[in-house]
Amino acid sequence: MNREKLPEEIIARALCRHAGNPENATHMRAPLWAQYLPEARAVLKALEENGFHVLGPEKKM
């Protein structure tokens, strides 16, 4: 079963890949992408402070 990823996870995974790291690898029993969460949260905060809001995927009715 696939779960919806939060915007911060999507950004953290992208940052992990951008750094040349395998996002699904683990480090100290946690996914490697999780180490990029502080940077991902900083990106989201900067976007919100400048009027951009990440609401998540669109829901189809």
pLDDT tens, position by position, 31-45: 999 999 999 999 999
In the structure encoding, which two tokens stand for residue 16, read together?
A: 């992990």
Distance between CA atoms of residues 16 and 22, nearest Å:
7
From the CB of residue 56, how many other CB atoms can be counted at a distance below 10 Å?
10
Q: Give the mean model confidence (pLDDT) for residues 47-60.
A: 76
pTM: 0.81
Cα separation of 51 and 19, whole Å? 28
